[in-house]
Structure 1
Amino acid sequence: MAYSIKRGKGSPRAVARKIRHQRVRKKVSGTPERPRLVVTRSNRHMVAQVVDDTIGHTLCAASTLEQAAKGVEGHKVGAARRVGELVAQRARALGIEAVVFDRGGNKYHGRVAAVAEGAREGGLTL
């Protein structure tokens, strides 16, 4: 996944996030024994996917778009924690106990950290 990012395209913060994500992805990859937990954050929603990079397939996923994650106290952060719990529950049903955490170039703070905490509470080892 070697692609170049033009520094003139997009806002400086978005470009910096993409560069961070590219740098992290050089080091982080998922295996069948320990797949990658990818967290994608938008202004409104959170998506968490468990990906096996050797075959390039998403094994399971959870999102704030799902009914199970809606109506949680704490609005965004609470919903992000619930997404982490849901993805952990689905991963454990597939026999996955440990994952590699990919924060997607975002800071490990707020909603991204809440997904990780929810996944840990759900029984995954990060």
Structure 2
Amino acid sequence: MGLSKIQRKSRIRKRIRKVSFGTEARPRLSVFRSNSEIYAQIINDQEGTTLVAVSSRDKALGKEKGTKSEIANLVGKTIAEKAKKVGIDKVAFDRGGNLYHGRVKALAEGAREAGLEF
């Protein structure tokens, strides 16, 4: 019998985390996607601290109208702008076991458009 969706995602997440580790010079951009919302945070794994966090539920984004992908793109742009203010230019992208497709891809493209490198 094959793996369930949850087991497969967990296995992929562990494989990604072996490679991507956030340092002070290059922190990790972690993405969590639920059915209705998307969350992104920039993490320094050496110290175990979250440097910047943004979600589609933030009041700063307001009640944006649009598709989930458009909102994810806006979240990507917002986290990149906040990261620039803190002095972060380069990050390691952690898609969190999700496929690089749809909302995760839209978030990554939004962050790249706003000047974040990964």
Give the superposed CA RMSD: 1.3
Aligned to 1:65: 57
- Contact 1:72–1:78 (CA under 8 A) maintained in structure 2: no
TM-score, normalization: structure 2? Answer: 0.93
Return the offset for 1:41.
0.3
Partner SS, residue 50 of structure 2: strand
Return the offset for 1:72.
3.5
Partner SS, residue 68 of structure 1: coil
Return the offset for 1:68.
3.3
Q: 1:99 to 1:105 in 2, by over 3 A?
A: same
| Whole-angstrom CA distance in 1 between matches of 2:106 and 2:60 | 16
Aligned to 2:23: 31
Aligned to 1:115: 107
| Whole-angstrom CA distance in 2 between matches of 1:63 and 1:25 | 21
Measured against aligned partners, the alpha-carbon deviations of 1:31-86 in whole angstroms (never above 9, x if no partner) come to 10110000000001000000001101000010000133344453210110011011
Return the offset for 1:122.
1.2
- Contact 1:81–1:115 (CA under 8 A) maintained in structure 2: yes
| Whole-angstrom CA distance in 2 between matches of 1:14 and 1:33 | 32
Unaligned runs of 5+ in 1: 1-10
Query: Could you tell me the percent identity over the aligned residues?
Result: 45
Partner SS, residue 60 of structure 2: helix
| Whole-angstrom CA distance in 1 between matches of 2:55 and 2:64 | 13
Partner SS, residue 15 of structure 1: helix
TM-score, normalization: structure 1? Answer: 0.87
Q: Quick one: which of 66, 72, 81 aligns to 2:73?
A: 81
Aligned to 1:6: none
Aligned to 1:93: 85
Return the offset for 1:95.
0.5
Partner SS, residue 69 of structure 1: coil
Q: How many residues align?
A: 116
Aligned to 2:36: 44
Q: Does residue 1:106 correspond to 2:98, yes or no?
A: yes
